[in-house]
Structure 1
Amino acid sequence: MFKRFKQTALAITLLAACAAGANAGVLRLDQRSEMAQAGQILQASDFDDFGAGYHFPGGGFTRGGVQYNSAENLIVGASTGLSIGQSRPVMSNEYWSPIEGGIATDVPYTLFGFDAAVTGGSVDVILATNLGSYLFDGLSLRDGLAGLDFLGFQATGGEYFTGFELRSMGEGYLAGITNVALGSDRAAVPEPGAMALLLIGLGLLVGRVRRWTGAPIFH
């Protein structure tokens, strides 16, 4: 009886390990090429059509699968004199921080990335998924005059993105983003190691049930 219990416990442990391995949360992607290799980009958007000055597209402004919900959406272009808009027009926030957005859930977007700049200091990124939230803090960005930096992320283990915040250090530190991309990864099935654990666990459980009942599981 004790041996039977140990084998059943082992099967359950293997299944739990498989499930835990699949729920890896959100990963940071350092290069845009990494995001392209991780899956298919389904939405890509920028703000180049707004031109060089200041523009206020309004609250709840939606573009490329993202609804921008900042206190006051502000697009900053090159003629404003602010460094963040010198390379490209960027979506910012007149109230300085944060830039906030909701991500469409009609498709489970597991890839999210954008180019960004900040007038000074570091930034924090808070990502919301269907299962929780994740903080990436103290990220360094160029100021826009020297160019933009890519920030990319991948949700794994059944999670997908539902929103984000980009926070600067507060008043006087203005951040902006552009080249926003949403995509879906190719991880449609568990990795080989996880699949092997799953099959072993299921096999052990099936064997236990057959011995206890004396009847086949499948007909």
Structure 2
Amino acid sequence: MYVPAHFAENRKDVLHDCIAQHPFGTLVTQGKSGLDANHIPFELAAAEGELGVLRAHVARANPVWQDVANDDEVLVIFRAGDAYISPNWYPSKHEAHKQVPTWNYVVVHAHGRIKILDDERYVRGVIARLTRTHEGTQPKPWKMADAPKDYTDTLVKAIVGVEIEITRLVGKSKLSQNKEERDIRGAGEALKSSGESRIGDAMLAAADEKAQ
């Protein structure tokens, strides 16, 4: 990924938080059958290893777990939002007319080595933790014990565990940081007024940081 210096995000805690807040990742592999991409939710164990460990599961019917070998290099992409930016939102455009459209976004690339774990206990642990995390905000959180045991036993046997030791984290927050503070703020406010608060809020934070 091309990352100009003004868009680089290198803070491990910020990158980990981005993954935790946006855990639905794209797993990119280069296996025996060639290049492949699978879209799955991940659990991040931030304290494990130097850069953290990602855990997930895939359907047994999905050929990816047989297409790769343990310790193969893989890439997982986590997107934290994106938005089109109109040059009309930059105050400076109305003075010098020297602005063009762009697209802003926040993304984390987690490079690592994959391990396939066809182990029922491991899979149950991943499912249980993912369920607790994502059911936590529900009024009455669902738990695995809510379903009949024979039903969940059958489903667990139909999935395979995946673990990725992160070896490199690359973060990019493209939020118009190469523009004037007033232009960053103007575009951020325009996004928020149109209902695009995720990138809008991030741009306003970038404007505040530039103003310091």
**Scaled by the length of structure 2, what TM-score is found?**
0.26
Normalised to the residue count of structure 1, the TM-score between the two structures is 0.25
* Greater C-alpha radius of gyration: 1
Structure whose residues are more often helix by fraction: 2
